[in-house]
Amino acid sequence: MTNATLIDGKAIAAELSETIKATTAAMLAEQGVKPGLAVVIVGEDPASQVYVRNKKRTADACGFHSVQHSLEAGTSQDNVMQLIDELNRDPAIHGILVQLPLPKHLDEQRITQSIAPEKDVDGFHFLNIGKLTAGQTDDAFVPCTPAGCMLMIERQLGDDLSGKNAVIIGRSNIVGKPMASLLLKANATVTICHSRTQDLPAVARTADILVAAVGRPNMVKGDWVKPGAVVIDVGINRIEVEIDGEKKSRLTGDVDFSEASEVASAITPVPGGVGPMTIVMLMANTLESARRAT
C-alpha cells in the first residue's frame, strides 16, 4: 500500500497539450502562423531515437509544423553547424532542438551555443541560462525537464515555497542547475547534491521537496525521504528484470518507488511522471517562441 499521492504527469501533460492545441489552432486562424519545431538527431542512439519520435509525434498532435533532421553518425561539425544556420534563418521554424548526447567527434557546446537564443526551446544557450539564473524568466526559455518538474511541484505546494527545503540530487546543466534556479525563484531554500556530497541520505532527509536526477536506478531509498516530502523522480533507467524466468527490459527511476511512496506525501511515477511533462514543456516553449515572433 502506498500512502503518497501519485503525481500523474501523463494526465497533467495531456491537459496542457489540449490547451496548447487550442491556442495553436487560434493562432493559425487569426494570424496564419503555425508554430514550427525542428528536431535534429545525429546517429543511432536507441534511447535518443525514442525521445525524438515522441517529440515529433506530440508536435504533430499539437498541430505544429514539425520537421525532423536525422543525420548520419559520422556527420561533420561543419555540416551540423550549416544545418543550424539554415534553421536559424528559416522563418517557419520557431524552435530548434539538437538531441543530446551527440557523437564524440562533435563539439556539443559549440553546437548548442550556435542555436539562435530566440529559437532555443531547450534553454541551453548561455543567454537563456543567464536570464534564468538572474531570475528573469519572462523572456527566457527554461529547460523543459526542470520546467515540467516545477509545474508538478506547484500543483502540490503552490507557487510560493517560502520556508521549504528543496534538495536536488544531480548537478547537470540540463536538470540540476536550472532546477535550483527555479526553486530559488519560488523562495525555496535549495541544496544541490552530487557524487562528492558527504552523507547524501542525511542531506536528502532534510528535504521537503526532493528531486532526483542522477541516472542511477532505485538509488533513493525510503529512509532517504523525510515523511511528507514531495518526491520528483527525473531518472529514466532501463533495467533488466526477470519475470517468470524470462528476462525483460523495464524502465525505472532514480527513486525506489515502493519504499519512497510509503513515506512521501506525493511522488511521481516512472514512467508517466516527469517524462511526459518534459515533452509538453517543449511544445509550450515552441508555441511561446512563435507568439514572440508574431
Active site residues: 55, 99, 122
Nearer to ligand GUN, 145 or 181 (CB): 145
Residue nearest ligand GUN (C-beta atom): 100
CA distance 98 to 40: 5
- Least separation in angstroms between CB 122 and ligand GUN: 5
**What span, in angstroms and rounded, lies between the C-alpha atoms of 147 and 278?**
8
- Residues 128, 72, 277, 174: is their CA dihedral positive or negative? negative
In this complex, which beta carbon is closest to ligand GUN, that of residue 112 or of residue 261?
112
Q: Are 192 and 172 in contact, with CB atoms under 8 Å apart?
A: no
- 91 burial class (0-12, 13-18, 19+ CB within 10 angstroms)? exposed
CA distances in angstroms from 71 to 49, 77, 102, 108, listed in the order given: 12, 11, 11, 15
Compute the distance between CA of residue 75 and CA of residue 71 in angstroms, rounded to an integer.
Answer: 6
User: Cβ 39 to ligand GUN, closest distance in Å?
Assistant: 8
Tell me whether residue 174 or residue 190 sits nearer to ligand GUN (CB atom). Answer: 174
Q: Least distance from C-beta 38 to ligand GUN, angstroms?
A: 12
Site residues for ligand GUN per CB under 6 A: 97-100, 122, 144-145, 174
**In whole angstroms, how close is the CB of 98 to ligand GUN at the nearest point?**
6
Is residue 253 within 8 A of residue 237, CB to CB? The reply is yes
Q: Shortest gap between Cβ of 175 and ligand GUN (angstroms)? A: 8
Question: Of 267 and 274, which CB lies nearer to ligand GUN in the complex structure?
Answer: 274
Question: What is the side-by-side order of every strand in the sheet holding 95-98?
Answer: 65-71, 36-42, 95-98
Q: Which residues contact 251 (CB under 8 A, 6 or more apart)?
A: 236, 237, 238, 239, 270, 271
Between 144 and 153, CB nearer to ligand GUN: 144
**20-to-29, 37, 54, 59, 159 alpha-carbon distances in Å:** 14, 14, 16, 10, 22
Task: Tell the smallest beta-carbon distance from residue 167 to ligand GUN (Å).
Answer: 21
